[in-house]
């Protein structure tokens, strides 16, 4: 059908020109005159077939006389280079707003690479974007022939633009174009040596981003990458390694290997740029091959829609492969067995005329996908085509990418030898990778670069932007540099250069389900707690508090007059029935105000420069107090506002064991003073170092229950997030790259790094006299409040060497347990936590799968017998709710209600 269309087009009269140019001063959708110089045009690269490549040339916004000239190519299946202009490195980008039938609007991109270089964007190979051929046979090209046409293009273009011959010249491209760039560079270098280029083109080197090489390492590296990112389980990873070896995953060596790879990624290479239809049978099996009509429907779908459907049946398909932290905007049935729903989706799309184009509309919050969606309407506008100087009748329908409808030969089996050849001649090379790309993972790229066996000139180190790590880099001899590009910020899963747009959401701290006390006998010999204080307003918070807050002290060591301070936030839902959650904070005597104001509490600090007054507070819409009453305790003694009149009191509770027993005493006394909550389910939650305490405390309570001592708790355990175990593991050695910047210099007031700056603000808030009066802090009990202690108080005695045995003991008694980790926490990496959970050797009840929020993968989970669940949180850091409050809230809400993740 596509070839027939091209044949019809060739009957239309074309305007012929070898190298026609047009100066573009305005663009439809852009407000006003362009603030940069744009030239468009065509260059004939094959006279026999009438093949012409279209280009956009944007002159450097710096000093075009001396700045380099960069040729830029785009990857994909004949994807237009307009993607590079409006979605990547060009000076304009789309305003993401709902498409209403009018022309999409454009705005200036302040981070355009044209600030440093003149860029020649070329629609290549022929058939991409606005490039065309008069003869349908002209579309039959491949890696080699398309590269040679680019060489012709450059010769002609520089002949028409001789003023740029003296400028340094670089070739760049990403993804599939990364396979073309080094080959083209070699051909140009050979021409220079043979003096065939116009006045010796001033080639200096090339750069490639997340480049495909054609080698199996491109896709084989997805397995260790997915494991390192928490997308596949330890069990599946080891199954692949044992049964498939460490490479060539496109050709399973046995049945078990094939099954493991099918579970990992059902698409694999059988779905190529040219052969989508024939791979369907192998993927869907009898579910579709038995239904001829269904197979026919699939064959009519575009490639991206097939990827969407296949993606619903694989673990890797649960994430956005181009960036595993972005929203996966492919909305399909999430139940792999629901083929009826898939068939319904196919028929609906065919009926709507979406079998080819226009593309299906993604959700507006999927910014990157929606920008790509807008390109279709902009590129097909006749006003736009007139402004760009598009030849009439050459393009029936502009598409951003093709889907195998035009012939193409992938005849460069591997580009690695060309990298070696060109760099060995002394040309510069920059190979860079986004550290969250699952299409061509940086692990594979890093591997083949290292295998070139060049000596190291500058060893692996961080490279910085504005004082922060922007990625990691290594420089080899022969002028080759490899670099990773770190995620700087995520806002609605859209990369941004402003750290202020970070979404501090995700990862869930772990909660301990302790159930209601079935019976309780008051202990009259225990001293009662100090009278609590009802707090109706807080300094820095505008107006009365929209939640019920009580503060107070409970004595836990009468001999030394040691008292633990607490904040009790009553449930904003149904406090008469909702659970009561005890929350502990980790670190070296870190105040539980961290959990209250940075993680799960109902207020948080406003991130703004400190001006000497009381830092402002605002309401947190993802507070866990919406589903539970939360009892925040400054523990152990010395943390936050907890204190001891006798200095020995800071030593008695130093060990993990005595400090845990003080917590048990605290709970007993607190519930005596708050009998209305005795019938409510009781939970214990904690994060980081407190992860060692929770399972031990749960075991102590369970033993008291068995012995009939004290209050009989209906214990249902939920261990804490990223629990510290003090068990040796090498999980950090296998870690990839941390997500957020952590080395903020408070003295520089880097308030955009909100997590660090809000910690800074907490110091002034808690040491303010008005705050202390409002909270009911005892006069003289504390000279200076600090969020976490450093040397000054005696060091903690770590008398719980490992908490793993307590996890085992408690879960073997039938108590529920949920252990989950942020997949971007390098303090306690999820790989180590997953390893010790697996070492418990429980049978699997629900195998590794994605868990979802709003139709998107929020992480991966596996459930074992003995009510033990392990889960990862996609993009989560060490203290989960501090980075991902929305997802954390969703998880705790499900867990408390006993719904599956």
| DSSP codes, 789-840 | --BTBPPP------SHHHHHHHHHTT--EEEEEETT-SSS-HHHHHHHHHHT
| DSSP string across 4-18 | HHHHHHHTS-----S
* Phi, psi dihedrals of residue 326, rounded to the nearest 5°: -75, 160
Task: Compute CA 2 distance to the chain's CA centroid, rounded to the nearest angstrom.
Answer: 38
Decide if 825 contacts 729 (C-beta within 8 A). no
pLDDT at 327: 79
No. of H helices and E strands in the chain?
27, 34
Per-block average pLDDT, block size 10, for the chain (901 residues)?
A: 40 44 95 97 96 98 96 93 95 93 94 96 97 95 96 95 96 95 96 76 95 91 90 87 80 85 60 32 32 34 41 69 79 39 38 52 80 92 96 92 90 93 95 93 93 93 90 93 74 27 24 28 36 93 96 91 95 94 87 94 92 94 96 93 89 77 88 84 85 84 74 54 49 33 34 64 94 94 88 66 89 85 89 92 92 89 88 85 87 88 85
Q: Which of 424, 898, 447 is nearest to 681 (CA)?
A: 898
Bridge pairing between strands 428-434 and 203-209 = parallel
Count, residues in the chain: 901
pLDDT at 17: 42
pLDDT at 388: 97
pLDDT at 816: 83
Decide if 250 contacts 216 (C-beta within 8 A). yes
For residue 740, the 8-state DSSP code is S
Q: Which residues contact 221 (CB under 8 A, 6 or more apart)?
A: 440, 441, 443, 444, 445, 447
Element containing residue 41 per DSSP (H, E): strand 38-46
CA within 13 Å, CB half, 498: 5
Work out whether the CA dihedral 819, 821, 826, 832 comes out positive or negative: positive
Three-class secondary structure of residue 862 per DSSP? strand
Distance CA 10, CA 20 (A): 20
| % helix, strand, coil for the chain, step of 5 | 35, 20, 45
Distance CA 771, CA 776 (A): 9
Catalytic annotation, residues: 688, 825, 878
Decide if 117 contacts 430 (C-beta within 8 A). no
Element containing residue 447 per DSSP (H, E): helix 442-450
Beta strands in 614-696 (DSSP E): 617-619, 629-633, 643-644, 682-686
Pick the CATH number of 816-900 from 2.40.50.100, 1.10.760.10, 3.40.50.2000, 3.40.50.11320: 3.40.50.11320
CA angle 122, 125, 127 (to 5 degrees): 100
Element containing residue 713 per DSSP (H, E): strand 712-713
Distance CA 355, CA 348 (A): 10
Q: How many CB atoms lie within 10 A of CB 36?
A: 16
Joined together, the tokens standing for residue 662 give 């003080």
Joined together, the tokens standing for residue 672 give 């005596």
Joined together, the tokens standing for residue 655 give 């060990």
Query: Greatest CA span in the chain, whole angstroms?
Result: 102
Q: Which residues contact 59 (CB under 8 A, 6 or more apart)?
A: 36, 37, 38, 39, 114, 118
Distance CA 88, CA 79 (A): 13
Q: Enter the CATH code of domain 533-722+744-813.
A: 3.40.50.1820
21-214+406-433: CATH topology is Rossmann fold (3.40.50)
Query: For 453-502, what is the HEC assignment?
Result: CCCEEEEEEEEEECCEEEEEEEEECCCEEEEEECCCCEECCEECCCHHHC
Bridge pairing between strands 169-174 and 562-569 = unpaired
Decide if 887 contacts 505 (C-beta within 8 A). yes
Rounded CA Rg of the chain: 31
Distance CA 248, CA 239 (A): 15
Provide the b/e sequence for 817-827 (b: ≥16 CB within 10 Å): bbbbbbbbbbb
Whole-number Cα distances in Å, 444 to 35, 185, 438:
40, 22, 10
Joined together, the tokens standing for residue 624 give 């866990």
Distance CA 516, CA 171 (A): 68
Domains 533-722+744-813 and 816-900 share a fold: yes
Task: Compute CA 329 distance to the chain's CA centroid, rounded to the nearest angstrom.
Answer: 14
Three-class secondary structure of residue 882 per DSSP? helix
Bridge pairing between strands 603-605 and 617-619 = antiparallel
Cis, bond preceding 358 (omega within 30 deg of 0): yes
Three-class secondary structure of residue 89 per DSSP? helix
The residue assigned the tokens 């663009």 is 27
Q: Which of 818, 813, 808 is nearest to 900 (CA)?
A: 818
Three-class secondary structure of residue 445 per DSSP? helix
Name the residue ranges covered by the structural domains of the chain.
21-214+406-433, 533-722+744-813, 816-900
Three-class secondary structure of residue 519 per DSSP? strand
Joined together, the tokens standing for residue 33 give 């005159």
């Amino acid at each position: 059908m596509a070839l027939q269309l091209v044949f019809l087009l060739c009957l239309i009269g074309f305007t012929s020109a070898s190298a026609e140019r047009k100066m573009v001063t305005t663009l439809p959708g852009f407000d006003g005159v362009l603030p940069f110089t744009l030239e468009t045009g065509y260059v004939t690269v094959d006279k026999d077939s009438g093949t012409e490549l279209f280009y956009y040339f944007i002159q450097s916004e710096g000093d075009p006389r001396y700045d380099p000239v960069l040729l830029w190519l785009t990857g994909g299946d004949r994807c237009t280079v307009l993607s590079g202009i409006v979605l990547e490195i060009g000076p304009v980008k789309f305003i993401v707003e709902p498409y209403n039938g009018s022309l999409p609007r454009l705005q200036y991109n302040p981070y355009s690479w044209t600030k440093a270089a003149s860029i020649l964007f070329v629609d290549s190979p022929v058939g991409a974007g606005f490039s065309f051929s008069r003869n349908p046979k002209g579309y039959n090209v491949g890696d080699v022939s398309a590269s040679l046409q680019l060489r012709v293009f450059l010769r002609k273009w520089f002949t028409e633009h001789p003023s740029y011959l003296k400028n340094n010249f670089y070739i760049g491209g990403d993804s599939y174009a990364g396979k073309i760039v080094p080959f083209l560079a070699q051909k140009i270098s050979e021409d220079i040596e043979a003096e065939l280029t116009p006045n010796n083109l001033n080639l200096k080197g090339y750069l490639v981003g997340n480049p495909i090489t054609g080698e199996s390492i491109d896709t084989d590296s997805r397995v260790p990458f997915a494991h390192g990112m928490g997308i596949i389980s330890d069990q599946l990873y080891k199954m692949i390694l044992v049964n498939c070896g460490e490479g060539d995953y496109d050709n399973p060596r046995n049945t078990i290997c094939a099954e493991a790879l099918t579970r990992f990624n059902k698409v694999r290479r059988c779905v190529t740029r040219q052969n989508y239809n024939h791979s369907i049978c192998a993927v869907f099996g009898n579910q579709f091959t038995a239904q001829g009509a269904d197979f026919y429907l699939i064959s009519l779908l575009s490639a991206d829609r097939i990827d969407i459907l296949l993606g619903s049946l694989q673990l890797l398909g649960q994430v956005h492969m181009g960036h595993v932290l972005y929203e996966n905007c492919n909305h399909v049935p999430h139940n792999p067995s629901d083929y009826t729903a898939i068939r319904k989706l196919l028929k609906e799309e065919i009926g709507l005329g979406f079998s080819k184009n226009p593309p299906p509309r993604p959700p507006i919050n999927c910014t990157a996908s929606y920008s790509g969606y807008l390109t279709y309407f902009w590129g097909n506008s006749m006003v736009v085509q007139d402004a760009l100087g598009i030849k009439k009748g050459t393009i029936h329908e502009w598409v951003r990418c093709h889907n195998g409808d035009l012939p193409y030969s992938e005849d460069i089996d591997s580009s690695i030898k060309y990298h070696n050849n060109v760099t060995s001649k002394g040309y510069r090379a920059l190979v860079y990778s986004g550290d969250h790309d699952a299409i061509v993972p940086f692990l594979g790229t890093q591997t083949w670069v290292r295998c070139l066996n060049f000596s190291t000139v500058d060893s692996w180190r961080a490279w910085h932007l504005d004082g922060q790590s922007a990625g990691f880099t290594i420089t080899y001899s022969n002028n080759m540099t490899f670099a990773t590009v770190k995620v700087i910020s995520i806002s609605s899963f859209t990369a941004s250069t402003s750290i202020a747009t970070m979404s501090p959401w995700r990862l869930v701290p772990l909660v301990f389900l302790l159930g209601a006390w079935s019976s309780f006998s008051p202990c009259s010999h225990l001293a009662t707690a100090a009278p609590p204080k009802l707090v109706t307003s807080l300094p820095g918070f505008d107006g009365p508090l929209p939640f019920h807050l009580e503060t107070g002290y409970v004595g836990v060591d009468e001999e030394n007059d040691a008292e633990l301070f607490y904040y009790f936030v009553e449930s904003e839902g149904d406090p008469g029935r909702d659970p009561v959650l005890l929350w502990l904070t980790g670190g070296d005597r870190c105040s539980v105000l961290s959990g209250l104001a940075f993680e799960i509490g109902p207020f948080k600090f406003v991130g703004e420069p400190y001006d000497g007054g009381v830092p402002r507070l605002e309401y947190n819409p993802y507070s866990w107090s919406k589903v539970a009453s939360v009892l925040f305790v400054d523990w152990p003694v010395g943390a936050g506002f907890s204190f001891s009149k006798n200095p020995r009191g800071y030593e008695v509770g130093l060990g993990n064991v005595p400090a845990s027993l003080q917590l048990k005493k605290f709970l007993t006394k607190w519930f005596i003073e708050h009998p209305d909550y005795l019938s409510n389910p009781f939970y214990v939650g904690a994060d980081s170092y407190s992860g060692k305490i929770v399972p031990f405390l749960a075991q102590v309570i369970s033993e008291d229950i068995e012995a009939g001592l004290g209050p009989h708790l209906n214990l249902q355990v939920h261990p804490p997030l990223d629990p510290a175990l003090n068990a040796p593991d090498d999980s950090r050695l296998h870690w990839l790259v941390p997500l957020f910047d952590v080395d903020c210099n408070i003295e520089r007031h880097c308030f955009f790094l909100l997590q660090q700056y809000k910690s800074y603000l907490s110091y002034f808030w808690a040491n303010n006299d008005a705050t202390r009066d409002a909270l009911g802090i005892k006069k003289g009990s504390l000279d200076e409040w600090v969020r976490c202690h450093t040397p000054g108080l005696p060091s903690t005695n770590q008398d719980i060497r490992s908490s793993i045995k307590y996890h085992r003991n408690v879960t073997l008694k039938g108590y529920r347990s949920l252990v989950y980790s942020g997949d971007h926490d390098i303090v306690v990496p999820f790989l180590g936590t997953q390893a010790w959970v697996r070492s418990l050797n429980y049978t699997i009840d629900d195998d590794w799968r994605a868990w979802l929020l709003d139709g998107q993968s929020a992480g991966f989970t596996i459930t074992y017998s003995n009510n033990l669940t392990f889960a990862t949180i996609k993009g989560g850091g060490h203290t989960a709710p501090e980075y991902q409050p929305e997802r954390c809230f969703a998880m705790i809400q499900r867990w408390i209600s006993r719904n599956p993740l």
